[in-house]
Structure 1
Amino acid sequence: MADAKSEKTIPQETIPVPVATLATDDLPEKPVTQNVEVANALGNLAGEYAGLEIPPPGTQERRDIERRLVRKIDFTMLPLIVALYILNYLDRNNIAAAKLSTFVEDLNLSATEYSCVVSIMFVSYILLQIPSNLILARIPRPNLYLPIIMIMWGIFTTLIARVNSFGPLVVLRLLIGAFEAGFYPGVIYYLSCWYTRLELAKRSSIFILGSYLSGAFSGFIAYGVVQNLDGVGGKAAWRWLFIIEGVTTVGVGLLAIPLLPSLPQNTRWLLTKEERLVGVMRLLEDVKLTELQQDACEEARTAVTVKQGVIMALRDPKVLNFFEIMFCVAGTASINTVFPTIVESLGYEYSKTLLLTAPPWILCAITCYLNSYHSDRTQERFWHMVWGPALSVVGFAIGLATTKTAPRYVAIMILLQIYNSWGVGFAWITNTLNQPPIKRAAAISIINIGFNLPNVFMAYLFTSGDSPQFYAGFSLCLCFAALSIVGCVLMRFQIIRANKRLAEGYKVDGMDGSTGFRFYY
């Protein structure tokens, strides 16, 4: 929740960025100027901005610069990462669409082996979450790192079209998980390097739209492949599905390398020098850093090791609570890996089943965007987090109560509303876990591990033998949705208590309440 006193009082004249402040060789051991953290953020590029004057926050000139900056990033970075995420989810979940074809029969997979193939990817995905994000936090060019890992998982996705048995399929799924591990938490961290707290929920939601759209596209693409390519070149339809989606991923990854912006301080091809410096300044101002806090952050950035950053994240109760919330959200949302199987329980033939998977994802995309947009506009997180799980509880209850086609499809339409907690949830996380950056990167990775753990075991609860009731799977998902609401309630009380301490003049997580800083809830 935004605080009315959160604005700093800054003299209404141009703020010069002194040469002595920005030249890193001249920085004093105990920096005292208001731009020390700017110099630290700029690093070796500090000398490039020496003497540059920028308007202070709150002036019309400054707002115009920020508006241009945000518009440029919105129209270059966001469309690209949405496209990348659509392909990320297509490559991760195309195995569910392939199952409705002759995939299981051609590879002679048992029900247990198929469930293993679905879930095994998340083992390597989870194990490499933290290392990947900590690497990303240390490198200055995320615009290279993210497309490269995308190209690698695209190659391994394409190779699935060549497998003929269980063993090689497991190896390839493990490799796909290893390279996909750094993508989602990496992009969330990447967005937080460009957008302020008030801007983040809507942009995170736009990014996450990629996963919802992929759910819709997956059905349409699979339907087109089955209708037109089955048997072409002597290959089954599912093999063409992996080839088309894998090769597309590699191609888009190659295009993203020159087109994806890096960080505010070094994106010269897109931003003017003034816009680059404002891009750095506004993120520091967003967390209301005082001179003392700048000194602490400068020391933390240089002194805090990767190990210490992980320990700091694990000791923060908010990180553990967010872990529980996102674990339960993911437990409910893990139906995405078996969604075609759930839709198949309606009893329609293969082609119609693929088409029926699309409308629930389209509805999900619309509601999730509107939810995140309103969350940013109102600067509120809690209520925007809990209504989605509440609606999913209703959907799973209907699914458990009846197998009749009409109410069952209504239930399927609202099951995916749990995803309303996804974009707002990660925006809430990045809003709440601020300094130092290495702790934030570790925290996002730890929480994202919780967000993917249920994918390891949930596939075993939705086999064809359990259709159409899916008693075990629906019951557990219902419990997870309810527990996510409980976690959100606890988080709300945690943040209210933290804000009360900030209002009383205490420091919380290194943030000084006297600056007007407050956590959103």
Structure 2
Amino acid sequence: MILWGTVATLMSLVKTPAQLLGMRFLLGVMEAGFSPAILFIISTWYRRKEQSKRFMTFLSAGILSGAFGGIIAGAIVDSLDGAHGIEGWKWLFIVEGVSTIGCALIAPFFLLDYPATTKRLSPEQRALAVARLQADGITSRSADGEVASISHWRAFVSAVSNWRVWWLCVGYMTIIGCYSLSYFNPTLVQGLGYKGSEAQYMTVPLYVVAFAIAVPTCILADRIPSCRPVMAMIVLMLGALFCALTAGIYAYIPRYVFLCFINSAIWTANPLALSYASVSLGPLDPETRAICLAMINGMGNLAQIYGSYLFPAEDAPKYLVGFGTYAGLLTFGAAIYGTAWLLFRKFPFQSEH
């Protein structure tokens, strides 16, 4: 995170488009491992029936940033523009970069190591934490602190040869491919008749509704963990339905309501998919599980590449291509998770080690 924040701060110094692209590439490299690392940490501490709401807690930062990030960024730019002779957009990079570095410096005081090795727990607490995971079939470091794992290469081979990983990669790509909708929410809201700062403020309810739906859904998913893929399938089918309705109905109020539920479907399906991936790959050693989660997360984020081209300005205000594509993607994703639920039950995981 320190390198991530440093690169973000240095982006305030760019002077040419080429420099901006280069620094943005470095920023992506530095932050790429953050989400997979957090997902792995959660998976090493919590039992299967406890993970959905924890993933949702982590992802809620994305929902809240979508709701208020634009407003906060605008406030930073407007209030600091010209201060000390520095332009407002540069201050945005400086403030966000320095804030990230500050969070990185205090993070070690809050984040714990593996349950069996952390020094922040007593021996009795460590033994209890390990016993909880072992009783649930989740492997971690052994009680003596040694890693019960395989070589780095074998862990990689084990991950890439696991057919379940690739199946879940495809499913997750259909969800994250629709995340690019958040880039266009202000534009879509403007197309509904809202202008200027009013349009920015009217994007907030899209995320508030998503948060209100996603949290209780993930709590319910932890109560019936075997139904996570079915719940993901239902959520994605509802998202596809609202995308289809948005492509065919252009009245302002209904379209705004549909946008709320499309965002809700995407943000709700994400933690359901991640928690299902975490618990459905079998009793893998920690390193293999980390690689599997990183693969799913990385492949999912690649899907946003094409998403940024689905809402060109010439398609306004209907955006039939974008919403039609999203409807197809979410329908395909629902089929993937429904099929996964059947296949994973028919072919139970068998450890190769």
For normalisation by structure 1, the TM-score amounts to 0.62
Which one of the candidate residues 226, 243, 255 is aligned to 2:94?
243
Which one of the candidate residues 296, 320, 335 is aligned to 1:471?
320
| TM-fit CA distance, 1:230 | 4.2
Which blocks of at least 5 consecutive residues in structure 2 are unaligned?
Answer: none
Which one of the candidate residues 103, 128, 131 is aligned to 1:252?
103
**Residue in structure 2 matched with residue 344 of structure 1 by the alignment:** 190
**2:305 paired with 1:456:** yes
Give the secondary structure class of the aligned counterpart of 1:496: helix
**Residue in structure 2 matched with residue 163 of structure 1 by the alignment:** 14
Give the secondary structure class of the aligned counterpart of 1:267: coil
- Output the CA distance in 2 between the equivalents of 1:281 and 1:308: 27
- Output the CA distance in 2 between the equivalents of 1:347 and 1:158: 36
- Output the CA distance in 2 between the equivalents of 1:215 and 1:365: 11
**Residue in structure 1 matched with residue 210 of structure 2 by the alignment:** 364
Amino acid at match of 2:301: N
Q: Quick check: 2:49–2:224 contact (8 Å CA) kept in 1?
A: no
Report which of the two structures shows the higher radius of gyration computed on alpha carbons.
Answer: 1
- Output the CA distance in 1 between the equivalents of 2:238 and 2:52: 21
- Output the CA distance in 2 between the equivalents of 1:459 and 1:231: 32
Give the secondary structure class of the aligned counterpart of 1:461: coil
**Residue in structure 2 matched with residue 183 of structure 1 by the alignment:** 34
Which one of the candidate residues 332, 344, 349 is aligned to 1:495?
344
Give the secondary structure class of the aligned counterpart of 1:435: coil
- Output the CA distance in 1 between the equivalents of 2:13 and 2:318: 35
The higher relative CO (CA closer than 8 Å, separation ≥ 6) is in: 2
| TM-fit CA distance, 1:183 | 0.8
| TM-fit CA distance, 1:319 | 1.3
- Output the CA distance in 1 between the equivalents of 2:62 and 2:308: 18
| TM-fit CA distance, 1:346 | 2.7
Deviations 1:149-191 (A, max 9, x none): x221122222223323211111111111111111111111111
**2:272 paired with 1:421:** no
**Residue in structure 1 matched with residue 248 of structure 2 by the alignment:** 401
Deviations 1:299-328 (A, max 9, x none): 9945x3323222222322221211111011
Which one of the candidate residues 280, 284, 287 is aligned to 1:432?
280
Q: Quick check: 1:223–1:355 contact (8 Å CA) kept in 2?
A: no
| TM-fit CA distance, 1:215 | 0.8
| TM-fit CA distance, 1:231 | 4.5
Q: Quick check: 1:219–1:358 contact (8 Å CA) kept in 2?
A: no
- Output the CA distance in 2 between the equivalents of 1:387 and 1:348: 32
- Output the CA distance in 2 between the equivalents of 1:399 and 1:239: 37
Which one of the candidate residues 126, 129, 144 is aligned to 1:279?
129
Which blocks of at least 5 consecutive residues in structure 1 are unaligned?
Answer: 1-149, 500-507, 512-521
Q: How many residues align?
A: 347
- Output the CA distance in 2 between the equivalents of 1:316 and 1:268: 34
Which one of the candidate residues 139, 145, 167 is aligned to 1:321?
167
| TM-fit CA distance, 1:244 | 2.1
Deviations 1:211-242 (A, max 9, x none): 11111121331342355344544544433332
Deviations 1:256-305 (A, max 9, x none): 12232222123223x2121012212221221189xxxx99xxx9945x33
- Output the CA distance in 2 between the equivalents of 1:363 and 1:496: 33
Amino acid at match of 1:337: Y
**2:347 paired with 1:510:** no
**Residue in structure 2 matched with residue 136 of structure 1 by the alignment:** none
- Output the CA distance in 1 between the equivalents of 2:25 and 2:78: 30
**2:63 paired with 1:224:** no
Q: How does 1:27-38 map to 2 (within 5 A)?
A: none
Amino acid at match of 2:284: Q
- Output the CA distance in 2 between the equivalents of 1:362 and 1:371: 14
**2:293 paired with 1:444:** yes
**2:44 paired with 1:201:** no
- Output the CA distance in 2 between the equivalents of 1:197 and 1:210: 22
Q: Quick check: 2:178–2:304 contact (8 Å CA) kept in 1?
A: no
CA RMSD, Structure 1 to Structure 2 (Å): 2.6
- Output the CA distance in 2 between the equivalents of 1:389 and 1:182: 27
| TM-fit CA distance, 1:254 | 1.1
Q: Quick check: 2:230–2:338 contact (8 Å CA) kept in 1?
A: no
| TM-fit CA distance, 1:422 | 0.8
Q: Quick check: 2:177–2:306 contact (8 Å CA) kept in 1?
A: no
- Output the CA distance in 2 between the equivalents of 1:157 and 1:402: 41
Amino acid at match of 2:212: I
- Output the CA distance in 1 between the equivalents of 2:220 and 2:253: 31
In structure 2, relative to structure 1, the CA distance for the partners of 1:170 and 1:483 (3 Å cut) is same
For normalisation by structure 2, the TM-score amounts to 0.89
Q: Quick check: 1:158–1:247 contact (8 Å CA) kept in 2?
A: yes
**Residue in structure 1 matched with residue 231 of structure 2 by the alignment:** 384
- Output the CA distance in 2 between the equivalents of 1:347 and 1:153: 38
Give the secondary structure class of the aligned counterpart of 2:317: coil
Q: Quick check: 2:229–2:273 contact (8 Å CA) kept in 1?
A: no
In structure 2, relative to structure 1, the CA distance for the partners of 1:213 and 1:279 (3 Å cut) is same
Q: Quick check: 2:81–2:87 contact (8 Å CA) kept in 1?
A: yes
